A and B are shown apart, each in its own frame.
Chain A
């Protein structure tokens, strides 16, 4: 075999003074980077295989290890970046599509970081969340335009029956990550945390393992183009059903779970043969148009007796506002929009990094378009794709989202270090893997606790920020772009976002 032109991406430094040759690193690396010796007190590392996941660094009891990106690599070139050269070398060797995991890591503008929040001064007292209630309770689902009230004497009789709603205690939902792409323990952590924190997690397109049926009240199940694991009980046990049309990390293409990952439990959950590839087609082959979507929406509504909301998830693409409007009119109670920075377990790198638009712009345009058409109340807006902090959450809500999905942030909460190697199935953190040696590494009791803590911390921070603005209910911030100002953006960008420049008053 010809020698590879690639050289290691990472540099592993082992401090000999500190290394006690305990071999924890050896035992923890699924990529066999470190090698110990039975006879001598030494450990050596083979950097070619290192993915930079930092598992060994984290567990080393003497802090003897450092794993860094190699900077002294290719000759600097403004046009030919390292990633181009690496990509070409790899493709010249393999002849294949470059795969990757997690969300787009390119330096496209992150608009959250160009938006600043407001606070009260003098004319309007800020509210102290430690002393006064501040409400984050959010209901997702179709809202009637008006309440049909009939008065019997002085008593109101409501004739409007509220459409089914999802009630959230905190406007953050764990986004679609299938059992298959993530481990059983990772899914269990999400489901238990969702229940404890009063929110939801999304099954992804991989069906629902029977163990998770008891969590149905806190699970949104997905119906994707592969229809994996979709059956009557699956739809009925859930709190809501989401039809997945597209995903921000890979708009326009389907998913692929390699047969090696299709274990006995996954085959049982997805209702597919053991070790067979699970391939989701690019489109739903029964949805070639918006009117076909409407049929599926209502077919599902029939199946669940109109008792739960039906969501439709689309990727943020150029014409997203018009598409979202069509989706609303097709009967979706919730529209989910996933931006270019949305994560994935596996996607072609060229798609992940080049297709779609940032969620901030898509959200601003969809919210505005639906309002202009007078149909904003027909659907709630859930957004996904690169929410990293409570500040991103509150800015998304001020731009017009009803709630946000977090995927990557939740996984990071579970230990993910964004090595982007989810597609290899060798996740050293026990998250994106089905290898029983690795899945054990994620104790769902710890996972649940960490995720609940994360949501709790974000909720506190959101309340602090709301209180600072003098707002004590999240609905008063929703779509309230007066509380946002832009820094460092062009007029066009401000106008797309519907946000004034910092310094402009009311």
Chain B
């Protein structure tokens, strides 16, 4: 399975990955509408962590032994059989946040403003290149 690789030495902290992730997961998929018209605003599944000159964009690592999958009581958090991606079935998610409690990387977020569901990276649904990678201006994220 391909992973998003993080090269923190080239992360410039611009957060274009966050912006484009949000757009990708918005209703319209159009950047200006996603920000200015959609309410509630979509939620980015990637987050840039920053301190001083160090910064990097973090999103779900799709762990081999994913604790979130093991700890999900409804079976909403599951591993995709085809491409081994860890996905959250939003229909089944009841918002118990066990996944958030158990995630070692802290990359699952509550979409609290909108719905009580766990929100996490879905690798853009199996595209050739997730949008965070495609829009990183400095190749600080690669998909390999």
A209 to chain B, nearest CB (A): 16
> How many Å lie between the Cα of A436 and that of B8 in the bound state?
12
Cα distance A59–B15 in the bound complex, in angstroms: 10
Chain A residues, CB < 8 A from B139? 443, 445-446
Selected contact of B138 from candidates A27, A435, A446, CB within 8 Å = A446
Contact pick for B10, options A18, A22, A24, A440, CB 8 Å: A440
- Residues on B with C-beta less than 8 A from A62 are 31-32
Which residue of chain B has its CB nearest to the CB of A449? B139
User: Number of A residues contacting the other chain (C-beta, 8 Å)?
Assistant: 23
Q: Are the CB atoms of A441 and B31 closer together than 8 Å?
A: no
Residues of B within 8 A of A41 (CB): 35
For chain A residues 23-59, which have a beta carbon within 8 Å of chain B? 23-24, 27-28, 41, 59
Query: Are A24 and B53 interface neighbours, CB within 8 A?
Result: no
Give A158 Cβ to nearest chain B Cβ, in Å: 50
Does B19 reach chain A (CB closer than 8 Å)? yes
Interface of A, helix, strand, loop or mixed by DSSP: loop
Q: How far is the CA of A61 from the CA of B36 in the complex (A)?
A: 14
Q: Is B66 an interface residue (CB 8 A)?
A: no
Cβ-defined contact, B10 with A20, below 8 A: no
Contact A28 B11 (CB under 8 A): no
CB under 8 Å from chain A, chain B span 71-118: none
How far apart sit A271 and B137, CA to CA, in the bound complex (Å)? 35
Q: Which of A18, A22, A41, A62 has the most CB of B within 10 A?
A: A22
The answer to the question of A437 belonging to the interface, with a C-beta cut-off of 8 Å to chain B, is yes
The residues of B that contact A437 with a CB separation of less than 8 Å are: 13, 52-53
User: With A18-B32, A61-B20 given, is the CB distance from A23 to B140 under 8 Å?
Assistant: no
Q: Mark A211-225, 1 if CB is under 8 A from B, else 0.
A: 000000000000000
- Picked from A17, A21, A23, A443, the residue with its CB within 8 Å of the CB of B15 is A23
The answer to the question of B144 belonging to the interface, with a C-beta cut-off of 8 Å to chain A, is no
Query: Is the beta-carbon distance between B36 and A20 smaller than 8 angstroms?
Result: yes
B12 within 8 A of partner (CB): yes
Q: Does B128 contact A (CB under 8 A)?
A: no
Query: Is A440's CB under 8 angstroms from B36's CB?
Result: no
Residues on the B chain within 8 Å of A441, using CB: 12, 138
Question: Closest residue of chain A to B136, judged by CB?
Answer: A443
B9 located at the interface, meaning its Cβ lies under 8 Å from any Cβ of chain A in the complex: yes
- Measured between beta carbons, the chain A residues less than 8 angstroms from B14 are 24, 27-28, 59
For A441, give the chain B residue with the smallest CB separation. B12
Contacts A27-B14, A27-B15, A61-B16 known; A440 to B9 CB distance under 8 Å? Answer: yes
Q: A24-B15, A41-B35, A61-B20 are in contact. List 4 more A-B contacts (CB 8 A).
A: A20-B32, A27-B13, A440-B12, A443-B7
Q: List 10 contacting pairs A-B, 8 Å CB cutoff, sorted by A.
A: A20-B35, A24-B16, A28-B14, A41-B35, A62-B31, A430-B12, A440-B138, A443-B10, A445-B139, A446-B138
